[in-house]
Structure 1
């Protein structure tokens, strides 16, 4: 097993600003910037319970292949304080990788959240914990403890490459990985997009639909690309 102790520090101000945004607007910002690294994790990774608060935090990566949870246990003890634990299991489907005891341990040890492309168990036992968990589902079978995988090594979930120190944002829409090297640029672009969306929503709410007689009347409240299409082709 490979274990690296490189704990990358992420600005608390940047994290607080991302907490004001949604995963969708952050994803839009990354599309606008044409970034290849980072992006949306698979839609199959969903919240285990209903969480009202957006999860934002710097990532500690864990690789837990072939049904082993040994690196997960070790990471929970030593690498979770004020971090989001992101666990790549290669979408393993024959066991759960953590239960309510591990969830309590992580929460009490300062973990901000857990995300994995695999199953968990003891769902009811983690209800009410201040620890958002995002996973692909539940399964009662326990994992193995083979000496495999690693902590703070590059991982891949879906087609998204993830490094320790990247930032994660998760909410009811899904999960987005923000490359640390571009965090400031993504943040500024996302804030502008969020402001633009808020202004457009205001126009949509205030639009006089009773006086719109054809598609051209709607161009002021449609997205720019759709409005341009209408003006050129309709």
Structure 2
């Protein structure tokens, strides 16, 4: 496959990225109308890390990390490298040497829809990563691909310069043009959740706070005592 390396890509405003960094993946995903969530197969190799940054995208041939080498040159302060392949792959395409080079350039982390290795070393050096697999299987450097082009991961499009937010719950992408709006929506959702949290701490039930008793009734869900249930009362028999 041939490819292209796109340079000078516009990125989301750094202030919007930092605003989004204050919220969890679940909050941002919900605030955007339950959109942008990357597939659950992308799992963190560490616990407790949350990163937000602008995407540098890589489209590679499976089992070939040539284009990751090319992408390092395009990465800078505040970026997150996002890698996928033209067909499914679990080969260990990324390891400690790549992370060393990226840390030197100020990259905040990696999201790769393929395999990763040297996970102990990555945790020790504090390089956050989310991957679809962990594998010691090596790769070659023999096939062209692309850097900084739109890529698709699990039905979600990730464009270069979009915001990537990742934590223990997963990974979400925020389109570059929607970053400020998403940050504002996330703030509103977090304020709403804070009010609900206080209500629950005070003893209120979600059934009442969210009006769910009416929903249960509309769906035909009824309450019966244990004895009545055991006797089969009200079950239509």
Q: Residue by residue, what CA displacement relative to the aligned partner does 1:72-112 show, whole Å, maximum 9, x if unpaired?
A: 01111332432000001246335211111111111122111
C-alpha displacement of 1:9: 3.2
Query: Partner of 2:77 in structure 1?
Result: 81
Instruction: Report the 3-state secondary structure (helix = DSSP H, G, I; strand = E; otherwise coil) of the residue aligned with 1:40.
Output: coil
Alpha-carbon separation, structure 1, partners of 2:27 and 2:206: 23
State the partner residue of 1:2.
Answer: 4
Q: Structure 1 stretch 121-130 or stretch 150-159: which is displaced more?
A: 121-130
**Separation in 2, partners of 1:124, 1:183:** 33
Structure 1 Cα separation of the partners of residues 115 and 32 of structure 2: 29
> Quick one: which of 5, 21, 24 aligns to 1:22?
24
Please say which of residues 196-205 and 180-189 is displaced more in the overlay: 180-189
1:93-133 deviation per Cα after TM superposition (whole angstroms, max 9, x unaligned): 35211111111111122111110111011222222223211
Aligned partner of 2:208 in structure 1 is 220
SS at match of 2:56: strand
**Shift in CA distance, 194/15, structure 1 to aligned 2, threshold 3 Å:** same
Larger Rg: 2
1:66 and 2:62 matched:
yes
The aligned residue for residue 121 of structure 1 is 117
Equivalent pair of 2:52/2:163 in contact (CA under 8 Å) = yes
1:231: Cα distance to partner?
Answer: 6.8
CA distance in 2, matches of 1:203, 1:17: 26
Deviation of 1:191 after TM superposition, in Å, equals 1.0
Tell me: CA distance 1:177–1:218, structure 2 relative to 1, closer, same or farther (3 Å): closer
Runs of 4+ in 1 over 4 A off after TM superposition: 230-234
| Distance (Å, rounded) in 1 between the aligned partners of 2:55 and 2:171 | 13
| TM-score (normalizing by structure 1) | 0.85
* Paired position in structure 2 for 1:42: 39
Pair 1:74–1:190, CA change in 2 (3 A):
same
Aligned-pair CA distance for 1:232 = 5.2
Q: 1:94 to 1:170 in 2, by over 3 A?
A: closer
CA distance in 2, matches of 1:91, 1:23: 26
TM-score by length of 2: 0.84
The 3-state SS of whatever aligns with 2:186 is helix
Partner of 1:212: none
- Structure 1 residue matching 2:68: 3-state secondary structure: helix
Please state if 1:141 is matched with 2:129: no
Q: How well do the aligned residues superpose, as a CA RMSD in angstroms?
A: 2.1
Match of 1:13 in 2: 15
- The answer to whether the 8 Å contact 2:11/2:176 transfers is no
